Structure 1
Amino acid sequence: MRIAVDAMGGDFAPEAIVEGVVMATAELPEDVTVVLIGRQSVIGELLKKHNSESAATIEVVHAEDVIDMGEHPTKALSQKPNSSIGVGFKLLKDKQVDAFCSAGNTGAMHVGALFSIKAIEGVLRPCIAGFVPQINGGHAIMLDIGANADCKPEMLAQFGEIGSIYAQYMFGVASPRVALMNIGSEEQKGSLVAQAAHQLLKDSRRINFIGNIEGGDFFASKADVIVTDGFTGNTMFKLGESFYPLAKQRGIEDEFIAKTNYESVGGSPILGVNGNVIIAHGISSPLAIKNMINLAIQQVKADAYTKIAQVLA
């Protein structure tokens, strides 16, 4: 298995990325290789600095250019084909790696996935999924958390199907409970879009739809899949992530709140594309990068994107 990591993407790249990769490779199975993509001389110096004893499990692929956080995604990808993100997607498209991970420009990662490995046939809009810790243990998968701010009912209904398949193969849940995030539990509540999406989800024979949930149910272990538009999902997800630093600032230690720390999972997958793509926070620490790599390995083993393709076909 080969996991590609953008060494140049992120607020603290390349130092934090390389350190995280070294941390990860110290514990990886022998059949896993991490492919670091970026400026070879810079990466090489950092690997020497960390006295990496796992050199056999790390490969370096040179990419001269870097897409900065503030650059326009489409323009940057076309003008910088030799960027670390551009090279990463080429490797993924050519099946030289099994997954591509980056803490760099989120828009460039999303656009790069659409233009290289492309959306799965039948998918209306690929989305970004987030892992929401649940009070009874484990995580719920929430989608979308930012790729699609405005959604039609049909898109939300499909998110439910995609999330259900992903939860089934990633979490091992036989019949994932799918819920629609809304402003009330009653069927007639919410916007016109939410009401129409509710009916589509209810009528779907592919999922175990349990109805609406509210914001107060976010961590309550009521659902395995939480469906919402990218605007609402991004707002709720980032609110949830704010609990850990706030608790830490106030001297509060709690096992559950610690799970809301963005580092604990390390990344969010783009679902609905023909490959494994993981996006990490721009502020990612070495620990977050390590956990992002572990998430990528788990996702490759689950082979969820091919299962999604098979169902939607």
Structure 2
Amino acid sequence: MSSLTLAIDAMGGDRGPAIVVAALTRALQSFPETHFLVFGDSRVLLPLFQAEKIQNHPRVSLEHTDEVIEMDDKPGQSLRTKPKASMRLAIEAVAEGRAQACVSCGNTGALMAIAYVRLKTIPGVIRPALVAQIPTEKGCPGFLLDLGANPRCDADTLFQFGVMGSVLSKEVAGIAQPKVALLNIGVEDIKGTDAVRQAGQQLANCTDINYIGFIEGNDLFSGKADVVICDGFTGNIALKSCEGMAQLVYKKLSSSLKGHWFSRLMAWFLLKRFKKAWQWLNPDQYDGASLLGLRGVVMKSHGNASATAFYHAIKQAHAESSLQVPERIHDRVESVLLKSQ
């Protein structure tokens, strides 16, 4: 696919449109053949475009709407009462074929509800799942799902997450037999909720899945599993807790290196190596959770995303669109799910 068009919801998130426009400016430089449809309030966005000197950019089209889905809006209400919201119009662009992917840092529930209704899911898939890459000790990224789209999941839904995550890891990360695990409060078969234990049995009985059993939270980034499955409530808390700890370690270490003169001297020698190590852990570079299981690419950026994080979400959407990920994995997912039912 030589030329792509990405739809951008410019009005979502906690930090406002400024970080979206800053990320867009960087994306225009990184992807010289990509066009961007930007949906939002032109009265707010045009001054930001002017500040970034992209107001007349030939690869940016601004489509005005003054309807916005707020972060605390209920998903069902947003779907019914805000047909011209920037998020909805961005998803509509994908559904209509005007864009190959949508990127938003807005309301997660609303994003999933609208995408579910407008794009539909792969045959056999009960619910789409938010999946994102996470760093591992092995150096290659793992996949964690669900991250908040489905706070409560039954065994069948967790099983399908395992199937979809395994296919994604194989097709995108190139892992021949991805190791799949369920996140649990212990590794023993008797641990966990009924849904988790039943999903474990279903995965163990599926010959198409390399299921390795339960893992606990302290092994989330160990690389023991290439794909880690959980409900959205657990996954969202686990991921954000780890992000917060990474930020705390970074701040504490930075503070200590600015103290005593000897510490400052050591910091001068270690700065480059420290920055390189932090880049591997920096949550911003892993921003961008894909709604896996839809007939199109929908990328959810963190609600509190920085401009750098939102740029990485755009970058991830661009990669999945370029690789035609939905088309590459849909047939395989459908085949495995239908055979496993």
Taking structure 1 as the reference length, the TM-score comes to 0.93
User: Does 2:305 align with 1:284?
Assistant: yes
**Corresponding position of 2:17:** 14
Q: Is the 8 A contact 2:132 2:286 kept in 1?
A: no
Shift of residue 125, structure 1, vs aligned partner: 1.5
Q: Give the superposition deviation at 1:49.
A: 0.7
Quick one: distance in 2 between partners of 1:155 and 1:256? Answer: 36
Counterparts of 1:155-234 in structure 2, within 5 Å, are 155-234=157-236
1:239 aligned partner: 241
Question: Paired residue for 2:327?
Answer: 306
**Number of residue pairs aligned between Structure 1 and Structure 2:** 312
Query: Counterpart amino acid of 1:10?
Result: G
Which region of structure 1 is more displaced relative to structure 2, 88-97 or 294-303? 294-303
Q: Distance in 2 between matches of 1:164 and 1:254?
A: 32
CA distance in 1 between partners of 2:210 and 2:325 (Å): 18
Which position in structure 1 is the counterpart of 2:61? Answer: 59
Structure 2, unmatched stretches of 5+, are: 255-273, 336-341
Aligned match of 2:318 = 297
- 1:257 shift after superposition: 5.3
Residue matched to 1:268: 289
In structure 1, what residue type is equivalent to 2:317? Answer: A
Q: In 2, distance between residues paired with 1:153 and 1:61?
A: 42
Q: Which residue of 1 aligns with 2:38?
A: 36
SS in 1 for 2:253: coil
Aligned letter for 2:26?
A: M
Instruction: Tell whether 2:271 aligns with 1:250.
Output: no
| Structure 2 letter corresponding to 1:263 | D
The structure richer in helix per residue is 2
- Alpha-carbon contact 2:181-2:211 (below 8 Å) kept: yes
- After superposing the two structures, state which structure 1 stretch, 13-22 or 183-192, moved more: 183-192
- 2:270 alignment counterpart: none
In our comparison, the structure showing a higher alpha carbon Rg is: 2
Deviation at residue 117 of structure 1 after TM alignment: 0.5
Q: Hey, what does 2:8 align to over in structure 1?
A: 5
SS, match of residue 148 in structure 1? coil
Q: Could you say if the C-alpha distance between residues 255 and 240 of structure 1 is closer, same or farther in structure 2, counting changes exceeding 3 Å?
A: farther
| Amino acid corresponding to residue 40 of structure 2 in structure 1 | G
Q: CA deviation at 1:241?
A: 0.8
CA shift at 1:190, angstroms?
A: 2.8
Segments of structure 1 that go 5 or more residues without pairing to the other structure are none
- 1:43-192 matches, within 5 Å, as 43-52=45-54, 55-192=57-194
Does the 8 A contact of 2:119 with 2:295 survive in 1? yes
AA partner of residue 220 (structure 2): F
Distance 1:221 1:256, change over 3 A: farther
Deviations 1:167-211 (A, max 9, x none): 122212222111111233333433332221111111112221122
Give a deviation string over 1:233-256, Cα, whole Å, max 9, x none. 112111111122211321355755
Q: Secondary structure at the match of 2:119?
A: coil
Q: 1:257 to 1:215 in 2, by over 3 A?
A: farther
The residue type equivalent to 2:27 in the other structure is A
**Alpha-carbon RMSD:** 1.9
Q: CA deviation at 1:276?
A: 0.4
Aligned-pair CA distance for 1:271: 1.0
The answer as to whether partners of 2:46 and 2:55 remain within 8 angstroms in 1 is no
CA distance in 2, matches of 1:290, 1:266: 8
Kindly state the Cα deviation for residue 12 of structure 1 after the two structures are TM-superposed. Answer: 1.9
Moved over 6 A (4+): none
TM-aligned CA deviation for residue 284 of structure 1: 1.4
TM-fit CA distance, 1:290: 1.0
In structure 2, the CA distance between the partners of 1:133 and 1:256, relative to structure 1 (3 Å rule), is farther
Inter-partner Cα distance in structure 1 for 2:158 and 2:49: 44
